[in-house]
Amino acid sequence: MDKEKRMKNVLSVIGKIFIVIFLFVEIYPIFWILMSSLKHTQEFNLSPSYALPKQIHLENYVKAWYQGKMNIYFKNSAIVTIVSLFFIILLGTTSAFALTKMRWKLRDKVLKIFLSGIMIPTAVVLIPLYSMYKGTNLLNTRISLILTYIAFGLPLTIFLLRGYLVSLPDDMIEAAIIDGANIYQVFGRIMFPLMKTGIVTVGVIQFYFRWNDLIFSSTFISSTEMKTVQTGLLYFSDMYGNRDWGAIFACISISVLPTLIIYIFMNKMVIEGMTSGAIKG
């Protein structure tokens, strides 16, 4: 028994050490970026990269926001991401409900068509989409990104929400219909509130994908006024002959901030949504 206890204690200590190492690997890059964003440019040449800033230079964020045009890029990213999320959640929840709880002739075939979108590689559709948007004069517009984000966001959203809806009993729907509720009332008043955890999970996941998108935004957007945060970072990095590293890291910090805030406040609910969806589905 003593040997078993010692072995358990040793394994527990080893597990905690690995967790600490993992946390350090995950957290240190963010900490390093934030500290670097507060340094003066000369410090990058005179001090080691891991050194803390000698003084706090908040003017780096002013440069990043105005000179680096992050105010424009941030606004563009916010608009396309929020609008895309609205339609992804609206269309995803209604489609998942129709493909899970409603009975109609081509339901299984339509579901397979939606789910097949998960397997389509991004690189395959870039040229066709570029040609379509060019022919319809949608290049260098937010609409091109919004339409693309919705199309690529729906398959995964339907897949995740359907796994969540499968677990919900049909008795509630039947009881509501017997009481005189129509299909819209059943969805809006009964099913939608029960899907709240799944919706938050899908929303956070899709937010990460859309906010951090580089492939589509760099392909469809070339106008400076329409660039998003990720493409703006590339543009800002090449603006100066002598690079202002403090301002560049400030730009990176600004781009990371929304995802970091959402992760801090939504992490618990996302984990609950993923685990409950996996167990129930």
Q: What is the band of 220 on the pLDDT scale with cuts at 50, 70, 90? A: very high
Going by C-alpha positions, the residue among 53, 73, 29, 54 that lies closest to residue 239 is: 73
For the segment 220-240, the average pLDDT, to the nearest whole number, is 78
- Which range in 76-85, 159-168, 174-183, 199-208 is most confidently predicted, on average pLDDT? 76-85
Report the C-alpha gap between 81 and 212 in whole angstroms.
10
CB neighbour list of residue 266: distance below 8 Å, 6 or more residues apart: 200, 204
**Three-point CA angle 150, 281, 83, nearest 5°:** 15
For 229, residues 6+ apart whose C-beta sits below 8 A from its C-beta are: 70, 73, 74, 76, 77, 211, 254, 255
> Does the pLDDT at position 54 exceed 50?
yes
Task: Give me the torsion for CA of 62, 66, 71, 74, rounded to 10°.
Answer: -70
Residue of 5, 44, 156, 22 whose CA lies nearest to 91: 156
SS3 179: coil
Which candidate, 83, 86, 88, 69, places its Cα nearest to that of 229?
Answer: 69
Fold adopted by 61-280: MetI-like fold (1.10.3720)
Say which range, 101-110, 132-141, 236-245, has the weakest mean pLDDT: 236-245
The C-alpha atoms of residue 184 and residue 93 are separated, in whole angstroms, by 12
Query: Across the chain, how many H-helices and E-strands are there?
Result: 14, 0
Q: Give the separation between CA 75 and CA 119, rounded to whole angstroms.
A: 31
Q: How confident is the model at residue 210 (pLDDT cuts 50, 70, 90)?
A: very high
What distance, in Å, lies between the first and last C-alpha atoms of the chain?
41
pLDDT digit string, tens, across residues 237-264: 544 455 778 888 888 888 888 888 888 8
Secondary structure (3-state) at 53: coil
The highest-confidence range among 14-23, 88-97, 231-240, by mean pLDDT, is: 88-97
Q: Pick the residue with more confidence: 108 or 83?
A: 83
Output the average pLDDT for the chain.
83
pLDDT for the residue 242: 59
Return the pLDDT at 238. Answer: 46
For the stretch 154-187, pLDDT in tens is 998 998 888 888 877 777 888 888 878 888 888 8
Average pLDDT over residues 12-37: 85
